[in-house]
Amino acid sequence: VLKFARWAFEKFAGIEDRLGTQMRAVGEVMSIGRTFKEAFQKAVRSLEIGRSGPGFAKDFNDLSVDELLRIIAVPNSERYFAIYEALRKGAGTDKIYAVTKIKKYYLEQMRELVELENEILTYKKRVLPNDLLIRAKKDGFADKYLSTLLDVPEEYIRLHRNVVGVKEEWDIVPVSGAEAEYYYSTYNGLGKLGRELSDSRKKRGICEKEDKRKKIVILGGGPNRIGQGIEFDYCCVHTALSLREAGYKTIMINCNPETVSTDYDTSDKLYFEPLTVEDVLSVCEYEKPVGAIVQFGGQTPLNIAMELKKAGVPILGTTPEVIALAEDRDLFRKMMDKMDIPMPESGMAGNYEEAATAAAGIGYPVMVRPSYVLGGRAMEVVFDSEQLKNYMSVNSRYIAKDAPVLIDRFLDNAIECEADALSDGSTAFVPAIMEHIEYAGIHSGDSACVIPTVNITEQQAETIRDYTRRIAEELGVVGLMNIQYAIRLGKVYVLEANPRASRTVPLVSKICNINMADIAVKLIMAEHTGVHIDLSDATAPKIPYFGVKEAVFPFNMFPEVDPVLGPEMRSTGEVLGLSDSFGLAFYKALEAGKSVLPLSGSVLISVAEKDKEQATNVAKRFESLGFKIYATKGTHERLISEGIKTELINKLHEGRPNIEDAIKNHRLDVIVNTPGGSRRSNFDGSYMRKSAIRYNIPYMTTLTAALAGVKGIEEKKRTPAENVRSLQEYHANLK
């Protein structure tokens, strides 16, 4: 059994990829094999980092032995991949042991993998000899990795395997103290595992009963990482419970040991396997299910859905073709144009020249991002052609002819919101609309959100419900769908549609008392069960309280990172606050996230030029609450001109005493700081924000969050001892 951590250093610009005594992993995978080599290779392809094997990662193969030894001398997230290339370059295990102190057994195992891989590479663009294919599969080489090494389609490797008769067998891990077990695959079974399993069960007194229930495969979400976490596991677990209630035998495939979906009793059968075409297809060929459900595990199952369907696995619910259409910005825009639903002007590009032409036609600023990513990976607001050129260079690995960069007009100062929908393919139901507290430009996963909405008119809300229903029906979505919107100058724009479960499903379900995953499963399985749900009469509940979601960030683990928010997601979790008022719900959400707002004291306000007008309102509210206001020069002058009493505080370069002194001397109780435009302003702002984390001072980097925070303080002072109520007691007041 091998555990491999999942890191997200790529999400934090300027951070040093270095491991030490402070935990920096955001998730992990677990793999099981009959040999270390087999388990190691399965772990690598489970990580969801775009690698199907340990070789040729990054540019390590282009480096010299000395350069690689320098890299592996310091523990980092890429260490094992660099060791692999160092072994290929001829570095001995003794030398690597001297540098890393990793046990020689593991280094020898990796050396043997490298030697076998080098032998495989001599057959590039040719068919592997059968004995070499068998050795490779026993040592854990994935079909996809072999196809990359040999420069042939993955299907060729799979066909060759099947012809030779090289197939995965299944072994079990008995669960201690329970009549249960979970499964893992191996190519080292020697054809004896079936008999061994029967003997093992007899010894443990487990009777093998005939089970005539039809089987459904559920694909999990893989390792927790930024952009995809337990919110998708929540959906998978409820899917398993719903299917079991409907009389189906549930088969879960996942590789994440941290989740409820990989508890042995969540599903009828658990396969601890990587979520790749090869591994999932092997399970499906062995179990012969009615079909597989892919829409609850986030982006991971969607990435392989089309290939699974081509290989003969029925995909239940929304089809892979519909998912691909929604992800193809060009096709989706044409559909929106046909339906007369507005979207921000956009374009696509495969290189800088195309991107520059598209951006010039749209007009700066633009939102730029790669195709087929989750969590806003490499998403950025670009203000000019020079910044665009740099973006295309830095993110070239995400851009290809079949995966162009997407360029959209950036809707400045727009309210973002989103709607989750349930659809049966012809009718859709929208239980709630979630309003983002931060303006457009902050990733939806990082923005605080509220249900019911606070600043959206009923007419705008009806437009959102109408667009959501029409899009779901036009696409033919069966199950769940999420659509993101922006409202600017009163006009509602569609930003994107995701015909799958979203990270907001647990929030909507718990605030509205609607088990969305359970209903979605019933809609997906209606064709097989004959039980149909009529969505045409469904009405959204009237919610007499407020639910606020706040993101939780790992910035305390990365003290060198500026905690300013943007279009790329950086949060690793979220909390929910419930109350009869929006302000108090927001206060409770912050409190749950370990950022308790003070009810009195002092506040530092230092904002960018474009934010000074709105900062006046925030400052007045703080002043009315009795807070002492400190402000940096530009903000101080603006607030004084508005009649607000403030005390000037120096920035770092303006002399002493300054911001640093005030923070270290504990004179500040809350900080409101928005990123500035100049390099010096950004330096000062970055110091403020980092120091706020270091000294555990509540901070806000957007004025919409600051305004919500002030409302929270006002409500908390008005209601110092709110009656504590259970979730069920809140639900009892729904209408």
Q: pLDDT tens digits for 222-253? A: 999 998 889 999 999 999 999 999 999 999 99
Q: How confident is the model at residue 347 (pLDDT cuts 50, 70, 90)?
A: confident
Confidence at residue 93, expressed as pLDDT on a 0 to 100 scale: 96
For tokens 């396969």, name the residue.
Answer: 271
Q: Are strands 215-219 and 181-186 parallel, antiparallel or unpaired?
A: unpaired
**Over 60: is that where the pLDDT of 677 sits?**
no
Peptide bond into 452 cis (omega under 30): yes
What backbone torsions phi and psi does residue 129 show, to the nearest 5 degrees?
-60, 145
Q: Using only the alpha carbons of the chain, give its radius of gyration.
A: 27
pLDDT of 375 over the 90 cut: no
pLDDT at 44 over 90: yes
How far, in Å, are 33, 109, 174, 315 from residue 42 at the CA level?
Answer: 8, 14, 20, 24
The pTM of this model reads 0.92
Question: Are the CB atoms for 98 and 112 separated by under 8 Å?
Answer: no
What confidence score (pLDDT) does residue 655 get? 84
pLDDT for the residue 440: 85
- Measure the CA–CA gap between 473 and 453, rounded to whole angstroms: 24
The kind and range of the H/E element at 238 are helix 230-245
DSSP, collapsed to helix, strand or coil, labels residue 416 as strand
First-residue to last-residue Cα distance in the chain: 50
Residue 378 pLDDT: 74
pLDDT at 725 over 80: yes
Per-residue DSSP letters for 593-615? TT-PPPSSSEEEEE--GGGHHHH
The strand pairing partners of 429, in sequence order, are: 422
Mean residue pLDDT of the chain comes to 92
Rounded to whole angstroms, what are the CA distances from 525 to 22, 427, 535?
46, 16, 15
Report the distance separating Cα 307 and Cα 280, nearest Å: 11
Cβ atoms of 422 and 404 within 8 Å: the answer is no
Collect all residues with Cβ–Cβ distance below 8 Å to 715 and sequence separation of at least 6: 579, 581, 583, 584, 587
* Six-digit token string for 345: 């002007």
- Structure tokens given for 181: 């077990």
pLDDT tens digits along 47-75: 999 999 999 999 999 999 999 999 999 99
The confidence band for 207, taking pLDDT boundaries of 50, 70 and 90, is low
pLDDT in tens, 704-714: 999 999 999 99
Which segment of 396-405, 523-532, 602-611, 667-676 scores lowest on mean pLDDT?
Answer: 396-405
Where is average pLDDT lowest: 79-93, 513-527, 548-562? 548-562
Best CA proximity match to 622, nearest among 652, 599, 655, 596: 599
Asked if 540 and 512 touch (Cβ cutoff 8 Å), the reply is yes
Q: What is the mean pLDDT of residues 310-321?
A: 96
In this predicted structure, the answer to whether residue 593 has a pLDDT above a threshold of 80 is yes
Closest of 343, 540, 524 to residue 429, by C-alpha: 540
pLDDT at residue 179 greater than cutoff 80:
no
- What's the burial of 196, exposed, middle or buried (CB within 10 Å: 0-12/13-18/19+)? middle
User: How far is it, in rounded angstroms, from Cα 407 to Cα 355?
Assistant: 8
**Amino acid 201: pLDDT:** 63
Question: Under a CB-based contact definition with an 8 Å cutoff, are residues 256 and 30 in contact?
Answer: yes
pLDDT at 661 over 60: yes
Tokens representing residue 390 in the block: 């740099």
Long-range contacts of 430-434, Cβ-Cβ distance < 8 Å, separation of 24 or more: 430/464, 430/465, 430/468, 430/469, 430/540, 431/508, 431/512, 431/514, 431/516, 431/540, 431/541, 432/508, 432/511, 432/512, 432/540, 432/541, 432/543, 433/461, 433/464, 433/465, 434/504, 434/507, 434/508, 434/549
Q: Is the pLDDT of residue 335 over 90?
A: yes
DSSP code at position 61: G
Classify residue 479 as left (phi > 0), alpha (psi -120 to 50) or beta: left
Determine the pLDDT at residue 195. Answer: 66
